[in-house]
Amino acid sequence: MSDTEIQDEAINVDTEKGNFKYPESYAYDAGVGLNEDTIRYISKVKNEDPWILDFRLKALEVFEKKPMPTKWADKDLENIHFDKIRYYLAKGQQPSRTWDEVPDDVKETFERLGIPEQERKFLAGVEAQFDSEAAYSRMKEDLEKEGVIFVGSSEGLAKYPEIFRPYFGKVIPTADNKFSALNSATFSGGSFIYVPKGVKLKQPLQAYFRINAENFGQFERTLIIADEGAEITYMEGCTAPKFETTTLHSAVVELVALKGAKIQYITVQNWSSNVFNLVTKRGMADEDAEVKWIDCNIGSRLTMKYPGVVLKGKGARGEVLSIALANNKQHQDTGAKMMHLADNTTSNIISKSISIGEGRSTYRGQVHMPKHLKNCKNNTECDALLINTNSRTDTYPAITTRGENNTVQHEASVSKVSAEQIFYMMQRGLSEGEAMSLAVNGFVNDLMKAFPMEYSVELKRLIDMEMEGSVG
């Protein structure tokens, strides 16, 4: 049986995974630090319209004015040195269309990331992000025929301003928070997607993200618009190489689901344990539309991410399903926001976290129902599992309710894997580590089912890897 000595032993993070990097040969490099010149440089390299430059410069002003949120957030944020970060870096290449055009070293990176060849066959299009620009982008012809647009942020704003500009920065305004302002000033890369009326994508769209330059912050910008009755699933997964100094990742993801549309956004975040991952994600759901965030955080040093849904139209639905795994020296500060702005809207939040070693996981939530609304419902469940004696978990929800016939329920629980369970499994021949791993997989199993099959397989593998050595 486990004694506390074994339990207290530190957990070995598999730091080798994704621990590789290639010579830096960046054609465009905006240098280190952030000021107006950096912004002008980025905009010039990208050959942007003047309105985008204006947008960036205003955002820079907001960023500089906003204080760090350290009065409630992790003090670790103070260790980000904004003047030591590279804000833009690209291969200087046009986003490639065919696999042959992708440089060999990039291909090799993908090999090592383990995007299986056969997986690509099933996926409708793969947009893999190598550093800040899309290095590889392909869409199946039938998608193009249906009028689906799947491009990088720069290309989206340049080629399809009439589609993307009306919603760009509208779901998440620049001044939403300090890091959304930072992203608005420095964004590059990411995906802009438009799914026309009534088009239902059967296969998920997918993009892999990578960071591959020391001290280089990645500020991708994603905007997905599902027109009336359209349906789309988007998958985002990431892994980053290990570096000596910290890196900053600060994305902005905006989803727009028009009347009756459905958007499902899936993230598997596995940055290396030196990355600050400070992300703003929000969806807007119109009448009878549905926005669903499925979010899995395994990596990074500090993640702050609270996917939200603004339930703007009658009968809209919002959902956040999240799994967080905090290993030694990691802080997974995640949560969800549900803003009910119309009658008959419903939202559901299910959050499960696992803290291993000295890992810390935090849930922050906000549910808001103003007084003029009727028949709105929210359900929130947060479960935390603590593996070792020095693991930590926090829960900080905030719920405001008014109106007629609105109901909100919030439940949270904290527990450990019961000694009886472990004993039972060990009696049947499993090692303590295997038993613990099985118990943890059981804890997240019902959420795992919500992920597409290939992701849940990948996730199980990741959790097993993280659990390795957690119990001696």
Partner 1 sequence: MTTTLEKPLVTSTEEPKWLSERRASGLSLFNELPMPTARDEAWRFASVGRLSIDDYDVADAPSAATLAALDARSALIQSRAGSLVYVDDTQARFEPISAELAAQGVIYLPVAQALEQHPELMEQYFLQESTELGSKKFFGLHASLVRAGSVLYIPKGVEVSEPFVNYYWTSGERAAVFPHTLIIAEDNAKAAVVDIFFSETEENEALNISVSNILAGDGSNIFRKVVQDWNEKTVSFQLDTTVAGRSTEVRNLAVNIGAARARFENQARIEGPGAHVKMYSLTVAEENQDFDQRTFQTHNAPNAVSDLLYKNALLDNSRSIFSGLIKVAKGAQQTDAYQTNRNLLLDPTAEANSLPGLEILANDVKCSHGATTGNVDENELFYMMSRGIDKRTAMKLMVFGFFEEIIEQADSEELADSLRELIRNKFETKIK
Question: Which positions touch partner 1 (CB under 8 A)?
Answer: 71-72, 355, 371-372, 374, 384, 386-416
Amino acid at 398: A
CB of 72 to partner 1, least distance (A): 5
CB of 463 to partner 1, least distance (A): 18
**Strand stretches in 101-246, DSSP E:** 127-130, 133-137, 149-151, 192-195, 205-210, 221-226, 231-239
Amino acid at 392: R
CB of 273 to partner 1, least distance (A): 21
CB of 107 to partner 1, least distance (A): 44
Provide the 8-state DSSP code for 373: -
* CB nearer partner 1, residue 370 or residue 452: 370
* CB nearer partner 1, residue 257 or residue 373: 373
What does the DSSP assignment read for 28-91? EE--BS-SHHHHHHHHHHTT--HHHHHHHHHHHHHHHHSPPSTTTS-GGGGG--GGG-B--EE-
Helix 36-45 × helix 178-186 angle, to 10°: 50
* CB nearer partner 1, residue 247 or residue 391: 391
Closest Cα to residue 23, out of 134, 110, 109?
A: 109
Cα angle, residue 411 at apex, residues 405 and 417 outer, rounded to 5°? 160
* CB nearer partner 1, residue 190 or residue 359: 359
CB of 324 to partner 1, least distance (A): 14
Element (H, E) at 285: strand 275-285
* CB nearer partner 1, residue 210 or residue 368: 368
The two structure tokens encoding residue 212: 């591959």
Residues ≥6 apart with Cβ < 8 Å to 121: none
CB of 337 to partner 1, least distance (A): 14
Q: What's the rounded Cα separation, in Å, for the pair 295 and 268?
A: 6
Element (H, E) at 462: helix 453-467
* CB nearer partner 1, residue 245 or residue 413: 413
* CB nearer partner 1, residue 69 or residue 196: 69
CB of 415 to partner 1, least distance (A): 6
CB of 161 to partner 1, least distance (A): 38
* CB nearer partner 1, residue 79 or residue 389: 389
By three-state DSSP, how is residue 337 classified?
Answer: strand
Neighbours of 27 (CB within 10 A): 10
